[in-house]
């Protein structure tokens, strides 16, 4: 069942649901199937020792304390480097999300995690939002699916007929000055003979 997300723009509220756009829908996908000598499909995992094969369902993730005892995930708390507990943020589905105008540079500086198509929730109307998006405006709001310790950035863009929600994190660029660039003459070049070339790499 679709979940309701409440957006607010200029004092108007919009209830939307969303559908995720998977990479497979855009680029397609390839699936590799493995069969044994009896033509029975097999899916096995090679263990870290490089020789043990594990059947499907033979591996699991567990959280352990320093003594090796299993720890329930709901008992864990996130802390900062000083050991202080981090504040918890609410799920975006439990609050009204106010849209604010975003700059295109902020949108383009995102490391995108997910892309969703926004739909009116249960036959509602989002024409007011679509009209604003058609003029080229971009909106943003802090988004958290389940709640947690921090928000992601949610950008709302559109073309007048459809609206999209782009979830991501701000990229952190590291700039170098010209005098920090590597000097080519400081790199010792090794002579490579034709016999050393592996044409499987091309």
In the chain, domain spans: 1-21+79-181
Q: How confident is the model at residue 25 (pLDDT cuts 50, 70, 90)?
A: confident
Mean pLDDT of 175-185: 62
Give this prediction's pTM. 0.68
The share of the chain scoring above pLDDT 90, in percent, equals 41
Q: Are 75 and 65 contacting, i.e. CB atoms less than 8 angstroms apart?
A: no
| Res 34: pLDDT | 72
Look-up: residue for tokens 């849209």? 99
195, pLDDT greater than 90: no
Mean pLDDT of 113-134: 91
| Res 185: pLDDT | 52
Q: How confident is the model at residue 180 (pLDDT cuts 50, 70, 90)?
A: low
| Res 1: pLDDT | 60
User: Pairing mode, if any, of strands 12-20 and 110-120?
Assistant: antiparallel
Mean pLDDT of 165-193: 67
Pick from 174, 170, 135, 176: which is nearest to 155 by CA?
170
Query: In terms of pLDDT, which residue wins out, 95 or 86?
Result: 95
56, pLDDT greater than 60: yes
Say how far residue 77 (Cα) sits from the centre of its chain. 22
């Amino acid at each position: 069942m679709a979940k309701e997300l409440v957006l607010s723009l200029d004092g108007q509220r919009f209830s939307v649901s969303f559908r995720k756009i998977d990479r497979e829908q855009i680029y397609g996908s390839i699936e590799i199937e493995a069969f044994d000598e009896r033509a029975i499909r097999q899916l096995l995992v090679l263990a870290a020792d490089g020789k043990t094969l594990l059947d499907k369902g033979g591996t699991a993730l567990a959280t352990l304390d320093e003594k090796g005892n299993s720890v329930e995930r709901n008992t864990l708390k996130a802390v900062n480097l000083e050991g202080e507990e981090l504040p918890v943020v609410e799920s975006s589905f439990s609050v009204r999300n106010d849209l604010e105008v975003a700059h295109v540079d902020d949108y383009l500086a995102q490391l995108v995690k997910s892309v969703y198509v926004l739909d009116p929730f249960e036959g509602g109307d989002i024409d007011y939002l679509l009209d604003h998006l058609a003029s080229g405006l971009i909106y943003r709001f802090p988004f958290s699916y389940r709640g947690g310790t921090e928000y992601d950035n949610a950008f709302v863009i559109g073309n007048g007929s459809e609206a999209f929600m782009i979830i991501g994190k701000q990229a952190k660029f590291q700039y170098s000055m010209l005098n920090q660039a590597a000097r080519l003459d400081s790199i010792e070049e090794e002579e490579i003979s034709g016999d050393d070339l592996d044409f499987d790499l091309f």
